[in-house]
Amino acid sequence: MQVFKHILFPTDLSESSRQSLAYLLPMAEACDADLVILHTYRLIGQRESNSMMLKKDLEEQAKSIFDQWKAELLDQYTVEYKFISEIGFIRDRILVVEKKYPADLMVVSERMLPELLGTDMPKRGLPSLDFMPCALMVIPNVLLKTEVALPENGQQQVNGKNGLRRNNENRVNQNGGNGMGAGNEVERH
């Protein structure tokens, strides 16, 4: 039986993702796996003068939601984790993050599938998963505590080395740059 030691959890910070994380955590703890929680966002149609303010607001909102998840869920388990929030398309950021933190399993909520599969989703048949760097586990909505509806347009809406160590402190690293791939990482020590 395959035991997964490094799990990547892409999230849109929705209630569906929170419930999927709650579903995932007991399994991750049982496998003694570490977890990378990846949130991505885009600055669409913003003028340069507004983009830095919007970037800051989105990062603060993501950190606030993550702090809630930490208190409600993550602190209840001994799972080592890292939270990464970056600008970009989810598929592109998965590939970049996976190179730094190789995963043997990626877990997503059913709500994340349209964004994850993007334009590769054919009208018939199975979608292309050629870009996937590892095994994929989808948490179906029916397993979650409440039914989570996908937005009508099918698009996600922003609401908002394996050297991980355990303790209760968090460190936030602010990465500069041109905004592509720049973001915040919160590491649990």
pLDDT, position 28: 95
- Tabulate helix, strand, coil % of the chain (nearest 5): 35, 20, 40
pLDDT tens, position by position, 92-147 = 899 899 899 999 999 999 888 877 776 544 454 555 667 677 888 989 888 777 54
Supply the angle between the helices 15-30 and 48-72 in degrees, to the nearest 10: 50
Q: Which residue type, as a one-letter code, is found at position 122?
A: P
Residue 104 structure tokens: 């043997």
CA distance 136 to 139: 10
- Pick the residue with more confidence: 3 or 59? 59
Q: What pLDDT band is residue 168 in, cutting at 50, 70 and 90? A: very low
Q: Model's pTM, two decimal places?
A: 0.72
Beta strands in 1-80 (DSSP E): 6-11, 34-41
